[in-house]
Amino acid sequence: MIEETRAVVAEGAGGPEVLRVVNRPRPSPGPGQMVIRVHAAGINRPDVMQRQGNYPPPPGASDVFGLELAGVVETLGAEVSTFSPGDRVMALVHSGAYADWAVVDAPVCLPVPDGMSLVEAAAVPETYFTVWSNLFQRARLAPGETVLIHGGTSGIGTTATLLAKALGSKVIVTCGSAEKCAAALKVGADHAIDYRSEDFVTRGKELTGGAGPDVILDMVGGDYIQRNLDLCAVDGRIAQIAFQHGSRADLDLQPLLIKRLTLVGSTLRARPVPMKAALAQAITENVVPLLAKGQARPLIDSTFPLEEVASAHARMDARAHVGKIVLTMVAPQ
């Protein structure tokens, strides 16, 4: 008899109502892989985009939703020596995290520090990998510099704030309401700009003595692209990680030359395993020690059982969350 696992898929493209919990055969590990008994899985904006039909899994990846998970190692594939059955791990996956059991590539797994819950751990891989890669590696944010983070109460925004503050930078965020600005300040931001009532370019310059922030982290795109160029400091860096308002804009690129700006961008999901493994190693060395000390741990907005995945996505769609939304599973015995 083939053992089964609950898993979340979409019946067509659309709103949260298209999500279904179905039964699938329990996966088996290949060389370099492990089977994880999943305890929790983080929900991210790319999951919403996939549900809407705008962000399909990479070729060969499962149609089961979910990019990050935390749980306990159940079975090792050949050539795995870094973990053992029973180890608590958090992992980045191409897909398949919204399930009771999942296959992960061992090189992109991180150990869960003692004292950290698996719900917290499930909120780490996607956002922490993204923020470390873009903010610290590609945009080279350094201690003492100022970073402006758009979407300050999102999963990415809260993660970027926590890490930037833990590593000695000043943080300015933009948010869409006074309430979210207050929440961002509680997370640790030094200043929060309500972009609905203030121009973030004008206010961003005021908060930096006219210089502008050294680094900008943006997932909005659209008309923000020009405004980021206008705001960023001389020799500044802009990290573009998404285009929620579109990837096209009518631009005046003179600031790029005059201010010697660097504009970088990247995606994470389709990167090959060796690239993700190198990133996992950097996070293990630089971020996991912070988590072990109770610093820069993810902010959990809410949790939902797997069966209520549609409600979890509805909360993400409403943009009411502050921090990460997490699914929880009761894995079969």
Cα separations in angstroms, 295 against 45, 73, 259, 289: 24, 25, 35, 9
pLDDT surpassing 50 at residue 308: yes
Verify that 220 and 277 share a domain, yes or no.
no
d(CA 124, CA 290) in angstroms, rounded, equals 12
Query: Strands of 215-218's sheet, edge to edge?
Result: 191-194, 170-175, 146-150, 215-218, 237-240, 262-265
Amino acid at 322: V
What is the pTM for the complete model shown? Answer: 0.93
Planar angle of CA 291, 214, 263, nearest 5 degrees = 95
pLDDT surpassing 60 at residue 173: yes
What is the arithmetic mean of pLDDT over 120-140?
A: 97
Number of domains in the chain: 2
Phi, psi of 197 (to 5 degrees): -120, -10
Confidence of residue 267 (pLDDT cuts 50, 70, 90): confident
Planar angle of CA 42, 46, 47, nearest 5 degrees = 60
Confidence of residue 2 (pLDDT cuts 50, 70, 90): low
Beta strand 262-265 with 191-194: parallel, antiparallel or unpaired?
unpaired
Q: What is the CATH number of the domain that holds 294?
A: 3.90.180.10
Verify that 193 and 97 share a domain, yes or no.
no
Verify that 213 and 87 share a domain, yes or no.
no
Verify that 141 and 158 share a domain, yes or no.
yes
Mark which of 265, 286, 307 sits at the end of a domain: 265
Verify that 9 and 116 share a domain, yes or no.
yes
Residue 41 counted as domain residue? yes
Verify that 177 and 258 share a domain, yes or no.
yes
Q: Which residue has the tokens 């072990």?
A: 292
Mark which of 265, 296, 312 sits at the end of a domain: 265
**Structural domain boundaries enclosing 26:** 4-124+269-328
Verify that 141 and 252 share a domain, yes or no.
yes
Would you give the end-to-end CA distance of the chain in angstroms? 16
> Does residue 50 sit in helix, strand or coil?
helix
Verify that 324 and 195 share a domain, yes or no.
no
pLDDT surpassing 50 at residue 333: no
Residue 145 counted as domain residue? yes
- What are 61-112's pLDDT values in tens digits? 899 999 999 999 999 999 999 999 999 999 999 999 999 999 999 999 999 9
Residue 160 counted as domain residue? yes
Verify that 84 and 147 share a domain, yes or no.
no
Residue 18 counted as domain residue? yes
Mark which of 265, 292, 314 sits at the end of a domain: 265
Verify that 156 and 239 share a domain, yes or no.
yes
Predicted pLDDT at 58: 87
Residue 20 counted as domain residue? yes
Q: What is the CATH number of the domain that holds 226?
A: 3.40.50.720
Verify that 139 and 261 share a domain, yes or no.
yes
Residue 333 counted as domain residue? no
Residue 290 counted as domain residue? yes
pLDDT surpassing 70 at residue 138: yes
Predicted pLDDT at 268: 85
- What are 202-227's pLDDT values in tens digits? 999 999 999 999 999 999 999 999 99
What is the arithmetic mean of pLDDT over 178-193?
A: 97
Confidence of residue 14 (pLDDT cuts 50, 70, 90): very high
Confidence of residue 270 (pLDDT cuts 50, 70, 90): confident
d(CA 169, CA 66) in angstroms, rounded, equals 31
Verify that 259 and 132 share a domain, yes or no.
yes
